[in-house]
Chain A
Amino acid sequence: MNIDQYRREILLFSLVGLAIVAIVAFFGQAYTLRMLAEAACYAILALGLTLQWGYAGLFNAGGMGFVAIGGFITMVVAFPVNDAFWGSEGAKALGFFLIEVAVIVLAVVGLTQIHRIGIRGKLKAVCVMVGLAAAFLFFNNELAPVAKLIETESGFIGGLGLPVLLGWILGGLAAAFVAYWIGKACLGLRADYLAIATLGIAEIIKAILKNADWLTRGTLTVSPLPWPVPTPNDIGFVAARSAYLALTAIMVAVIFVLLQRAYRAPWGRMMRAIRDNEVSAAAMGKDINLRRLQIFVLGSGLIGFGGAALISFARIFDPSGFTPLKHTFLVWVMVLVGGAGNNLGAIFGAVAVYIIWLMGEPVALLLFESVRELGSLWFDWEAPADLMTRALQARVFFVGLTITLALRFVPRGLIPERLNKIS
């Protein structure tokens, strides 16, 4: 580790510090605290992604899906109980439905074991496929009336009214559970296949959350989500957001320390060996697919956890609000710009990129306003009426440009991974 790198890190972090001071001066404390609390949540997402991409070279293009799972589970766990639902016929119907689902799942699991009674090979595969299809159809048919009953009687099922932190942890676990099955199917193949599959699962999760009104109220959205700390209604914006920021900052610190230890441990060394040279790692007797699955599940769990914190902070669960841009690609920019494989880089990237992202909004508006002024002044140009919404949409362009430029000019990020060279 050389002095240059330390100097560089100090310089970069002091630049971020200066930016924060300037934002406090211009936009006030409450806004800055909101920005920092969200940046802390994004830092958890970036740590999860840098674990997958930086430690193991796995390409996860489905961050949005895991964020959505985390947010959804938190909503279900922590939102106040909906008494109208629990007293209604819908609750009973849902109970019966869940029992039916349990029976179906048992039947399908039994079906996957039929090789024990002598049905093997292709025949077994056909049996399992037919069984799965039948189970899916049955599930669909049984769910529809129950969902309709709940929607007409009581709107949606509401939450369980449990502590928010429990919701975050369960959200992370649920994301890890989904990641396990995706990883099982794709991790034996090249990174591209995982990218395609995660992209797909993210869209599916969004579609389900958006359309399952009985579970999430769909486009009607659920709010206000509870906080693990006192909310602004109780103690005012500045105090409440400071408390939230403190909580998330502690979590970032804890995750950071644990990941740093893992990186230096034999486990981290093995992961880097697998990333850098799969064949020789396999020759040393490492179970590559199992290790990749491990790190993919762990990273996705972290993304789910961070997503839960992010959605809780917004206080509104809106399935249409999950966008690949904000919840997948922005995190990618943070990791690539910060430096893949370096946890400090991920945190730096999260804070710096999020500041730029938020500041991009007023800057873009200002820029386009002046373009319109000048255009009409000099060329009699009549700007389209939706120029301002277009200006905000155009931020996507800069996210993409940053990704390609970072790949080309700073391929290892602003705070690169530290390589210990043994001389």
Chain B
Amino acid sequence: MNELIFFVNKVLISGTIIGCIYALGAIGVTLVFGILRFANFSHADMMTVGAYIAFIFASLMPGAGALIGLPTGFVVLPLAIICLAAFAIVVDRLFYRPLRERKVRPVMLLVASLGVTLMLHGLVRLFAGTSPRSFFQDEKKDVFRFDVPFELASRDIVISEPQVLLIITSIVCIFALHWFLTHTKLGKAMRAMSDNADLALVSGINTEKIVRATWIIAGSLAAVAGTLLSLDVVLKPDLSFNLLLPIFAAAIVGGIGRPYGAIAGGLLVGFSETLAIFNWSILLRPSAEFLPEWIDIPARMAFVPTEYKIIVPFVILIAVLIWRPTGIFKGQVL
């Protein structure tokens, strides 16, 4: 029984957490890819910047969280969202729009996004240093333990407060986005533009407005994902550079321009990762007494050693590109 609880803690909960983060990131990437037609390499660094903005707000008003009973980093999240959405628009004005107006090939925008990535990288390191920081310096991180009502289970199912908040916020974000895309004029225009840009232009959709909305959504989701991730683990400057590949893998698995696909892709990549690095011999160990003696269960039986975790999203990415470049939800192949 304890082994099963270990499985729940290590795979179900961690997989959902990391899957939500990937999904939030992948939605931003897939929207930008679908509407502006380039792979935005700076998205992961936008997440880091968002987390640092939240950190600044949190340290400006310590104790704000204690009033409501939630972590301060979570309470200041709306402020961080506003700042990062505005920041995303400024970045677009400065670096992407001039290129768009010159009607360059979309891949030039990708090069520009690499430049932006490096700039954000440098800014974060310059102003915040390289040492990791924690949102929970002065506060206590609440941890919920659920006792499992079985006799054999002596361990608890453990989930921390930031993790609960992360899952709830992700679900709220996803439903809000769904409502926006299906029920508002702007959202419908965005979907139209993502499906067929020329047709959308001919039917009189204001491109710049759509682009602005795209950046606002991408920036907001990046702020949410970055802040919640750093609430769960720690805040460090290279927090999100390792996230870039899984996020792209999730977006492509789900199909470019398909926000729902991105959610499915994010969860798929997240669970594949946790399942691949999970030590399966823990689950097999109780069965040892039923097995003949000559079968030894090795101490470590993971598909992929933890150090090589990054191989998992890469393999998923390559497999999808070879067999189904449209992704599971039939997105575009640009």
Question: Closest residue to B241 on the A side, CB-wise?
Answer: A324
B248: nearest residue on chain A (CB-CB)?
A196
B114 interface contact, C-beta 8 A = yes
Chain A nearest Cβ from B302, distance in angstroms? 8
Are A401 and B38 in contact (CB-based, < 8 A)? no
| Complex contact B334–A190 (CB within 8 A) | yes
- Which residue of A136, A188, A207, A408 is within 8 Å of B98 (Cβ)? A408
> Quick check: A195 and B308 within 8 Å, CB to CB?
no
Flag whether A389 is at the interface (Cβ < 8 A): yes
Bound form: Cα–Cα A324–B117 in Å: 12
Decide if A201 touches B119 in the complex (CB within 8 Å): no
CB pair A397–B130 under 8 Å, yes or no, is no
- Is A191 interfacial (CB-CB < 8 Å)? yes
**Residues of A in contact with B, size category:** 35 or more
Contact flag A386-B129 (CB < 8 Å), given A201-B314, A407-B111: yes
B152 within 8 A of A: no
Given contacts A201-B314, A390-B129, contact A396 B118 (CB under 8 A): yes
A191 to B106, CA, bound (A): 9
| Closest chain B residue to A191, Cβ basis | B107
Interchain CA distance A332-B111 in the complex, whole Å? 9
Chain B residue at smallest Cβ distance from A396: B122
Q: Which of B130, B245, B303, B308 contacts A196 (CB 8 A)?
A: B245
Known: A189-B325, A204-B308, A207-B308. A400 touches B111 (CB 8 A): no
Within 8 A of B (CB), among A389-405: 389-391, 393-404
Contact with B125, one of A185, A186, A390, A399 (Cβ below 8 angstroms): A390
Residues in A whose Cβ lies below 8 Å from that of B98: 408
Partner of B112, one of A211, A389, A396, A404: A404
Task: Contact check, B313 vs A193: say whether CB atoms are below 8 A apart.
Answer: no
The answer on a CB contact under 8 Å between B111 and A336 is yes
**Chain A CB within 8 A of B318 CB:** yes
Q: Given A386-B129, A393-B122: A196 and B317 within 8 A (CB)?
A: yes
Q: Does A259 contact B (CB under 8 A)?
A: no
* Contact assessment for B118 and A193 in the assembled complex, using a CB-CB cutoff below 8 Å: no
A203 at the interface (CB under 8 A from B): yes
Q: Do A59 and B107 touch across chains, with their CB atoms under 8 A apart?
A: yes
Q: Establish whether residues B110 and A185, one from each chain, have CB atoms under 8 Å apart when the complex forms.
A: no
Identify A193's interface contact among B95, B111, B252, CB under 8 A.
B252
Residues of B contacting A336 in the complex (Cβ-Cβ under 8 angstroms): 111
B284 interface residue, CB < 8 Å from A?
no
Shortest Cβ distance from residue A269 to the other chain B in the assembled complex, whole angstroms:
20
Interface residues in B295-334 (C-beta closer than 8 Å to A): 298, 303-305, 307-308, 310-311, 313-314, 317-318, 321-323, 325, 333-334
Q: Tell yes or no: A295 within 8 A of B by CB.
A: no
B168 within 8 A of A: no
* Per-position binary interface string of chain A over residues 353-376, scored 1 when its CB falls under 8 Å from any chain B CB and 0 otherwise: 000000000000000000000000
Docked pose: A404 CA to B307 CA in angstroms: 34
Q: How far is the CB of B48 from chain A (nearest CB, A)?
A: 13
Taken together as a complex, chains A and B put the C-alpha atoms of A422 and B131 apart, in Å, by 59
B115 within 8 A of A: yes
Contact B314 A200 (CB under 8 A): yes
| A377-B225 Cα distance, complex, nearest whole Å | 41
Q: Is the CB of A325 within 8 A of B118?
A: yes
Q: How far is the CA of A132 from the CA of B201 in the complex (A)?
A: 46
Does B176 sit within 8 A of A, measured CB to CB?
A: no
Q: Is B172 an interface residue (CB 8 A)?
A: no
CA distance A336 to B98 in the complex (A): 17
A400 and B245 within 8 A (CB): no
Say whether A316 faces chain B, with CB atoms less than 8 Å apart.
Answer: no
Question: Is B112's CB under 8 angstroms from A407's CB?
Answer: yes
Is A386 a contact partner of B118 (Cβ separation < 8 A)? Answer: no
Given contacts A189-B333, A200-B317, A390-B129, contact A403 B110 (CB under 8 A): no
- The residue on A at minimum CB distance from B39 is A192
Whether A199 contacts B244 in the complex (CB less than 8 A), given A204-B314, A396-B125, comes out as yes
Nearest residue, chain A, Cβ from B113: A404
- Interface CB pairs A-B, < 8 A, 12: A190-B107, A196-B39, A200-B313, A200-B317, A201-B314, A208-B308, A336-B111, A389-B129, A396-B122, A396-B125, A401-B119, A404-B116
Top 7 A-B pairs, shortest CB-CB distance: A397-B122, A400-B118, A403-B115, A400-B119, A396-B122, A404-B115, A393-B125
